[in-house]
Amino acid sequence: MKRSPRDAGKVAPEGGGAPQPQAEAPQPAGKAHVLITGGAGFIGSHLCARFLREGYKVTAIDNFLTGGRRNLRELLTHLDFALIPGDITQPITVLSRVDLVLHFASPASPRDYLMHPIHTMKVDSFGGFYTLGLARAQHARYVLASTSEVYGDPLEHPQREEYWGNVNPVGPRSVYDEVKRFGEALTTAYHRVHGIDTRIARIFNTYGPRMRRHDGRAVPAFIDAALTGRPIEVYGGGTQTRSFCYVDDLIEGIFRLATWPDLAGQVVNLGHDEEFSILELARLVKEFAGSQSPIVERPLPQDDPRRRRPDLTRARKLLGYELRVPLAEGLKRTIAWFAEHAEDQDRAASADERVTHAARV
Ligand code: NAD
């Protein structure tokens, strides 16, 4: 990654307030340092591993609301890795030099953000100010994890980055959709006003190892039901379509977006562009898991988008983005991982209960 000049020493991001844990770690000369908020989550933990493999020094900040240390188990002893327990909705202080900030903290599954609606709104608003303030003070590059949800229930198909979306601002999903839109606006303002090198990834449905089986998203829910013999529940007949991206393909796209030069101010869709109905997904999971689970219908939740598929032209053009893992292969890998980590998942589920309780009181 291209280096940028920086101010050494203590950084006090904008916003004031109580001091937070300090991300301070020895700085081996010559290694670029990436700070990953939400680093203990599903995507964040894969990003931590990828940046370490590429020779970066990595600091993850996470409050473990929907992620966990277990996702970083193999990285914790790595000399270039630090995990800082901390809440990004509070001011953060980073004493060491930072070259790249990846803001990936946020509950991401509908179940999680509906359980934590106000916290979700803080993560990309207050958390956006703090992380952008940090990037500004450090002259660091900044990448925001945005989402296909900024398109809402889209009236254009497939969704291009130029499409402004169709979002219900007071619907149940608005806490997530609207704060991500706010996060994009804020990130763009810091780019325009302060000249920060920002990049925005609009991430579409991504799945793979380290998702939590009870997070409510379709892939883990179907796999869990298939592996435990419970009914696989599809909403509204399962005719609504989605595209499903295996996590390795997404991580490659994010890595390129974050590290390639001359992309300042870019907004890029990342995900998979092959469309499947939810019913097809359920059938594939059932088949690959060798399951006898029945597939049953449940009522469609409010504001659930009928169709969702990215136009990936920009990602292909700017990033040479390629999709290497077809759905069948990705599902087989994910099912194998879930089968192998059943016990971990049980422990995670009980830890989730404790964290959820703590976050609510
Ligand atoms: P996740 O829930 O697995 O990970 C989010 C992480 O953020 C968790 O480790 C959680 O503990 C942490 N976190 C939450 N609030 C925090 C706070 N206040 N301070 C510090 N850490 C906090 O979700 P994910 O699927 O890995 O999503 C990561 C990012 O990607 C999110 O911003 C999400 O909106 C975005 N995204 C994901 C998908 C997807 O399909 N997985 C799709 C679109 C966008």
Domain ranges of the chain: 32-348
Beta-bridge partners for 232: 295
Confidence at residue 347, expressed as pLDDT on a 0 to 100 scale: 62
Least-confidence region, from 21-25, 37-41, 95-99: 21-25
pLDDT for residue 18 is more than 70: no
CA proximity to 56, closest of 72, 24, 79: 79
- Measured CA to CA, the distance from residue 1 to residue 3 in angstroms comes to 6
CA proximity to 42, closest of 248, 340, 271: 248
Q: What's the predicted TM-score (pTM) here?
A: 0.90
- Measured CA to CA, the distance from residue 19 to residue 93 in angstroms comes to 7
Catalytic residue numbers, as ranges: 176
Least-confidence region, from 16-25, 66-75, 163-172, 255-264: 16-25
Mean pLDDT of 264-274: 97
Confidence at residue 4, expressed as pLDDT on a 0 to 100 scale: 40
Confidence at residue 28, expressed as pLDDT on a 0 to 100 scale: 45
Mean pLDDT of 157-166: 95
Instruction: Indicate the pLDDT class of residue 303, thresholds 50, 70 and 90.
Output: low
Mean pLDDT of 201-205: 97
Instruction: Indicate the pLDDT class of residue 197, thresholds 50, 70 and 90.
Output: very high
Confidence at residue 235, expressed as pLDDT on a 0 to 100 scale: 87
209 touches ligand 1 (CB under 6 Å): no
63 touches ligand 1 (CB under 6 Å): yes
Mutate which of 61, 73, 106 for ligand 1 pocket (most atoms within 8 A of beta carbon): 106
Mean pLDDT of 321-347: 89
Measured CA to CA in angstroms, residue 98 lies from 95, 127, 183, 210, 360 at distances of: 9, 17, 21, 27, 33
Mutate which of 42, 46, 88, 215 for ligand 1 pocket (most atoms within 8 A of beta carbon): 42
| Furthest-apart CA atoms within the chain: distance in Å | 60
Q: Which pLDDT tens digit goes with each residue over 104-159?
A: 999 999 999 999 999 999 999 999 999 999 999 999 999 999 999 999 989 999 99
61 touches ligand 1 (CB under 6 Å): yes
* Centre of ligand 1 from the C-alpha of residue 294, in Å: 31
Mean pLDDT of 168-182: 95
Instruction: Kindly state the percentage of the chain with pLDDT values over 90.
Output: 76
**Atom of ligand 1 at shortest range from CA of 176:** 34
CATH architecture of the domain covering 32-348: 3-Layer(aba) Sandwich (3.40)
> Are 46 and 208 in contact, with CB atoms under 8 Å apart?
yes
